[in-house]
Amino acid sequence: MRHARRRIVRRVTRLAAVGGLLLGGAMVTQAAMASQTPPAAGRTLSSAAGAGDTGGALVARLGTARTAGDWIGADGRPVVAVTDEATAREVRRAGAEAKVVAHSMNELKSATAALRSAPRVAGTAWAVDYRTNRVVVSADSTVSAGDWSRMSRVAAQIGSFVRMRRTTGTFTTRLNGAQPILSTGGRCSAGFNVTDGRSDFILTAGHCGPSGSTWFADNQGDQQLGRTVSSTFPGNDFSLVQYASGKAGDGADVVAIGGGNGVRITGAADAAVGQRVFRSGSTSGLHDGTVTALNATVNYPEGTVTGLVQTNVCAEPGDSGGPLFSDGIALGVTSGGSGDCTKGGTTFFQPVTRAMTALNVKLIVAAQNAGGGSSSASPAPSTSAAQGAVTPSAASPGSSAPVTGAPGQTLLARLTDTRNVGPGLLVIAGSLIALVATRYIRAERDRKAYQRYYSATWG
């Protein structure tokens, strides 16, 4: 009876060990496949999408006297606002949708110029709404009744296509993103890694700190990242933080989206109205929304910034400088806005193309890390989506990639992380030990049984 129980135990142990080997092998294979990122194909920025002109190319060709902006429709097709039917027919022949409006872009730009020339009121912002053919002036809760009345009179003098509206919250810079960077002046977020060919830099918001600011990766000031070597704010809102080592290191083409995950950046482009976009920040994580306007002007308490991308993506203090992207294409860095990620709000972004041109730097993208040349890409149009928090596993902001160099991650944490091959290797090792042990125990028992038999026979 006792021998029967031993045989059963050994048999169960062997079966469990074999099962463990199969399971461990499957875990290692799955982890290895998950960690592989498809190679990023180099694509070139172009004003045309395939054989047909995009909305932006049509606007450039037809001129601002005959058009009033373009945007991405709900079906993903470009829509161009035009001032007459003849221009509308040209747009339709080019494969885009046309919408006839009353005011040209020249008239809309003239309205924004009149607003800029009026006395500055902190807490106000304006942008051209291409889809409604209006200039929308927003005033936050800090704008007094007297200033509201004065701004309303200026708007009335310009024309009925200038719309005034009140917003909740206040327009503020988001000082305090993807990975946090800290200095004595406050906390911001790293945006994108860029290079001038000799040194690497972090492109982030200009209001985060003046030139000479020293940045760290931890609260204790032990991990120095670098120093701000160029900063522009107000007017624009961008700055360069030069890495202390001179190089960004591994994963320079990846922006963090939370949970140890990241998105591989393959190029840079200008945002389009109606485009679905993602913003990542260390305070509020990954959120998505749509671009609602371009060339927005915001009168922060610290000064006025122009040429911003306006979105309905939320942001909170600490998200400043964090990346705005879509389908792995860099679009902007977080400047400021109103509201929060509980109630929603408006967030403005400094376009990366404008910042990189002014700073004479290029984006560090996947093709460069792979040994290829510098490449950039144009954003794929996508339909609008409701604003909200996005879990990294549910989002499609671009090709996924692991975030490297995350502070505080120990070897034990990496081995026990189910995203890595460590757990599978541990299961395989345990199964092998169990198999060897059962074989050894069986061999020892057979040897002792033979000794007893031999002694009884020949003793």
- DSSP one-letter string for 246-299: S---TTTTEEEEETTEEEE--EE----TT-EEEEEETTTEEEEEEEEEEEEEEE
Tell me the average pLDDT across 70-97.
94
State both tokens at 131: 């889809």
Per-residue DSSP letters for 342-404?
Answer: TTEEEEEEEEHHHHHHHHT-EE--HHHHTT------PPPP------EE--TTT--SS-EEEPP
Cα gap 20→432, rounded to integer Å: 9
Higher pLDDT, 399 or 189: 189
CATH numeric code, 105-166: 3.30.300
List pLDDT tens digits, range 368-379.
Answer: 444 433 333 333
Judged against a pLDDT cut of 90, whether residue 415 lies above it is answered with no
pLDDT-derived band at 50, boundaries 50, 70, 90: very low
Measure Cα distances from 87 to 53, 62, 134 in Å. 14, 8, 20
Domain layout of the chain by residue ranges: 2-36+420-458, 48-100, 105-166, 172-398
Judged against a pLDDT cut of 80, whether residue 404 lies above it is answered with no
Catalytic residue positions, numbered: 207, 237, 320
Tell me if 105-166 shares its fold with 172-398: no
For the chain, what is the mean pLDDT?
79
Cα gap 249→252, rounded to integer Å: 6
> Which of 51-60, 67-76, 264-273, 350-359 comes out lowest in average pLDDT?
51-60
pLDDT of residue 20: 63
pLDDT-derived band at 396, boundaries 50, 70, 90: low
Cα gap 260→280, rounded to integer Å: 13
Q: Tell me if 202 sits within 8 A of 181, measured CB to CB.
A: yes
* pTM of the shown model: 0.72
Judged against a pLDDT cut of 90, whether residue 194 lies above it is answered with yes
pLDDT of residue 163: 96
Tell me the average pLDDT across 210-234.
86
Cα gap 54→60, rounded to integer Å: 10
Higher pLDDT, 174 or 139: 139
Based on C-alpha coordinates, what's the Rg of the chain? 30
The pairing of strands 303-311 and 67-72 is unpaired
Tell me the average pLDDT across 129-144.
96
Cα gap 72→403, rounded to integer Å: 32
Judged against a pLDDT cut of 70, whether residue 48 lies above it is answered with no
pLDDT of residue 318: 84
Judged against a pLDDT cut of 70, whether residue 399 lies above it is answered with no
Q: Look up the CATH architecture of domain 172-398.
A: Beta Barrel (2.40)
Residue 354 burial by Cβ neighbours in a 10 Å radius (0-12, 13-18, 19+): middle
pLDDT of residue 375: 39
Q: Tell me if 317 sits within 8 A of 186, measured CB to CB.
A: no
Query: Which residues have a Cβ under 8 Å from the Cβ of 64 and sit 6 or more positions away?
Result: 104, 105, 106, 109
pLDDT-derived band at 363, boundaries 50, 70, 90: very high
pLDDT of residue 169: 85
Residue 180 burial by Cβ neighbours in a 10 Å radius (0-12, 13-18, 19+): buried
pLDDT-derived band at 393, boundaries 50, 70, 90: very low
Cα gap 284→259, rounded to integer Å: 13
pLDDT of residue 4: 60
Tell me the average pLDDT across 215-234.
84
pLDDT-derived band at 220, boundaries 50, 70, 90: low
Q: Tell me if 435 sits within 8 A of 20, measured CB to CB.
A: no
Cα gap 386→390, rounded to integer Å: 11
